[in-house]
Amino acid sequence: MKSFEKKKNIKPVKTEQQQYSVFFAKLNTPVVFGLFIFILLFFYLQKQLAFHFYYIEQEQLFLWSRAYFLSFIIKPAGLLQWLTEFCVQHFIQPYLGALIMSVILTAISILAAGIIKRIASTANLHILSLLPIVFLLYMHFDINYLYEGTVAYLLMLLVMYGYFCIGNFLPRIIYVTVSGILLFWCAGPVAFLFTVCVFLWEILNRFSKAFVFILPILLVAALAFVGVYTSLADNYRLLLLPDGYYTRQLHPGTEIYLSWVVLPVILLLCRLFSKRQHTGRKRKYAEYLLQLMSVAVLFGFTIEKFTDRSYDFFKEFNYYTRNGQWDKIIERCDEGVNNYLHLNFLNMALIEKGELAEKMFSFPQGGLQGLTVTWNMMPHISALQSDIYFSIGHIALAQRMAFEANVSMQNSNGAMLKRLVQTNLIYGAYPVAEKYIDLLEQTKYYSEWAHEHRRFLWNDYAVENDALLGMKRKCIPVSNTLIEEQNIHIDMEYIAIQNPAHQASIQYVGALFLLTKDILLFRELLEKHYGTDVLPTLPKSYQEAIIIVTEQDPSKWEQFNISEQVIQRYNEYKKQVLDNRGNAALPNLLKASFSDTYWYYYMFYKL
């Protein structure tokens, strides 16, 4: 009897085909599926959006305080904004941006797959759950997209999954009505998407009772009406459409609607195939493979069309600027300079390294805009100009632009708050500096920097002996002057005279005259300051420019100590010009050997 019982408990050995079946069954579980999607997303996001995450972090300032939390809870969509800012604050750390967004997007895919499985388990449509994250990815390349939109989508799918778990009519209508109101209060416009999707599903499945579900839609619309009436938003698109998750001063492109449109489409497909019979294993995996390939092809052919990559270099250069990695900017510009913004970063990097006057024409310059682009009140331009003015020693304009960058954003900019701390310490406005330090000390990643700068408060000796703050304090004019950006060269020359050790100031003035081809003012500048502490020697581009000014009087070259190498190169340049006079190909002929000279810029660049 015992031997019989032992034989009875022996498990039969599975065939190789059965083992594969078990393996693929496990492979199809949400955990493995989610892990696969997460790994793909993480590597893709880290490769494509690493600098984007660093940049987005600066768009907000998350404070670790009870008062800060309560200030969000009491306003519509405040909880969503608080949750998003909590996540985004960590983007300042390498890899955390890609990690956090991969988790959120993977959760969206898993929830979408869970909904599909619940309403159409035999339809083999689970791979379609990738479509929402594909369309959401498009928006993540846009610096004006608010990540609240992605987190809101996740919350909406979580609520929708709960709806599909309810079988009875009365609990369903109560759940949808209450959830629609709460979603609108906590997450904003996705409440409208949720109620519309529920109404569509009810129409498709229970037509006779479906019209009761118009009530949640009307309630959400009524809340939007109240929001517009009370000036919570300018118009209804900000409260009922994904436009609400975009910078309010701007209008998004059509790609922002794709993730919203695809959800009802998926529900419609699930309804069409919900009565389908179970298919064989081979056919099921063939359908999965077909869907996966279709999603991959769709993504591959549309990612460039629906994403804005024009700011990629800007975001990368912004990161290098924040970390003082000036050589990185110069190295990247060796590959080519595409626009004025890139030139601004490049010239600022050359200023910080003390090489602007020596090497600026080693790169294609673009006139005055290459030094500082025209201010257009946009926060990223204000922040860039603050960095440039701080580099050249114009503390007043650096402070003004830092302030403009903060007030023109929906939230504070951590980097610009640091700049306001620096400029107010430089000016000795210690109470104002302390206010900003108190604010930064409430953050996770800026608190240490803020605490270190607290030692400068009411301590002129510490400020004046600091390598950075002390040097910049010496740039402050002794007497108050009216700030005029149009005549900035006057301020900069005064700063250079007052603080000759700050060579960036005089180099900026000289570069300004050279880029605008104002040779007469440039000559006056050199005659006034050459040989003094302000301009003890002439860098390469200055020597090249003075040759143009004094070409008819070469004796001046010795006075300005023009090097033999520069004179010899000029003679070669002049010979090629004379030998090819009237030749339309002259610019290209000279470019090969002389594109890094001021002579080439002066002759061929049109202002």
Q: Residue 379 has what pLDDT?
A: 85
Out of 278, 302, 326, pick the residue that ends a domain: 302
Q: 551-565 pLDDT, tens per residue?
A: 888 888 888 888 999
**Res 5 pLDDT > 50:** no
Structural domain contains residue 1: no
Residue 5, domain member (yes or no): no
Question: Are 289 and 326 contained in the same domain?
Answer: no
CA separation (Å) from 18 to 124, 130, 219, 240, 365?
A: 21, 29, 53, 51, 69
Average pLDDT over all residues of the chain: 88
> Could you report the per-residue pLDDT of 131-145, keeping only the tens digit for each?
999 999 999 998 889
pLDDT value at residue 273:
83
Please state the rounded mean pLDDT for residues 536-551.
90
178 and 196 both lie in a single domain: yes
Residues 358 and 410 in one domain: yes
* One domain for residues 127 and 265: yes
Q: Give residue 6's pLDDT.
A: 47
Residue ending a domain, among 243, 278, 302, is 302
Residue type, 437: I
DSSP string, 3-20: HHHHHHTPPPPPPHHHHH
Residues 337 and 283 in one domain: no
| Top-confidence residue, 32 or 420 | 420
d(CA 115, CA 96): 29
- % residues pLDDT > 70 (the chain): 93
The answer, yes or no, to whether residue 74 has pLDDT greater than 70, is yes
Total structural domains within the chain: 3
pLDDT recorded at residue 7: 46
Q: At which of 473, 504, 529 does a domain end?
A: 473
Let me know whether 147 and 288 are in one domain. yes
Contact present, 538 and 523 (Cβ < 8 Å): no
* Percent of the chain topping pLDDT 90: 56
253 lies in the same domain as 206: yes
State whether 179 and 212 are in the same domain.
yes
DSSP single-letter state for residue 241: S
- 261 lies in some domain: yes
C-alpha 172/C-alpha 229 separation (Å) is: 30
C-beta separation of 390 from 398 below 8 A: yes
Q: Are residues 287 and 317 in the same domain?
A: no
480 occurs within a structural domain: no
CA 262 to chain centre: 26
For residue 1, pLDDT beyond 60: no
What local confidence, expressed as pLDDT, does residue 23 receive?
Answer: 47
The answer as to whether 403 is a domain residue is yes
For residue 343, being part of any structural domain is answered with: yes
Q: Within a domain: residue 541?
A: yes
State pTM to two decimals.
0.86
Which pLDDT value is given to residue 30? 66
Give mean pLDDT, residues 40-67: 92
| C-alpha distances in Å from residue 596, one per residue of 183, 319, 457 | 60, 28, 46
Q: Are residues 40 and 134 in the same domain?
A: yes
Are 146 and 123 in contact, with CB atoms under 8 Å apart? no
Residue 278, token pair as written in the block? 């179970």
Q: Are 152 and 260 found together in one domain? A: yes
Residue 551 located in a structural domain:
yes
Q: Per-residue pLDDT for 18 more than 60? A: no
Does 254 share its domain with 319?
Answer: no
pLDDT at 211 over 90: no
Instruction: Provide the residue range defining the domain that includes 87.
Output: 26-302
pLDDT digits (tens, 9 = 90+) for 220-255: 999 999 888 887 778 888 889 999 999 877 788 889
